[in-house]
Amino acid sequence: MASAANSDLRAYKPGQMVPISGIYNVIHLDHRAPHEAVAVRGDLFPACRICKGQVRFHIAQIVPHVTHDFDLAGPTLKMPRGRAKAANSGES
């Protein structure tokens, strides 16, 4: 089923940089069925210990990493929290 000639999906090889964080389909040669794994942008795709450099990675679902999310890692905004406890900021 999993033919090697899937030019539709871009395949990444071990040693290449992960272009975008997300869930990847990991395609091995014959020793293991395809499975999913998370890869984080900027990391390198690893080689398989059995099929070595023959393993391929296809993006299955893009999932932003928390520290790459603008709202989570961008400049801090002063957002009013739902429940402000004390308006009085004097602390002693």
The only residue of 18, 48, 57, 59 in contact with Zn ion, by rule CB under 5 A: 48
Tell how strand 35-39 and strand 11-12 pair up. Answer: unpaired
Closer Cβ to Zn ion, 33 or 79, answer by number? 33
Span of 40-48, 62-70, 74-82, 83-91 interacting with Zn ion by CB under 5 A: 40-48
Q: Does 9 bind Zn ion (CB under 5 A)?
A: no
Q: How far is the CB of 29 from Zn ion (least distance, A)?
A: 6
Q: Judge whether 12 and 57 are in contact, CB under 8 Å.
A: yes
Q: How far is the CB of 47 from Zn ion (least distance, A)?
A: 9
- What is the C-alpha separation between 92 and 87, in angstroms, rounded? 15
Which residue's beta carbon is nearest to the bound Zn ion? 48
Tell how strand 11-12 and strand 22-27 pair up. Answer: unpaired
Q: Does 11 bind Zn ion (CB under 5 A)?
A: no
Number of neighbouring beta carbons within 10 Å of residue 12: 19
Q: Contact residues for Zn ion (CB under 5 A)?
A: 28, 48, 50-51, 55
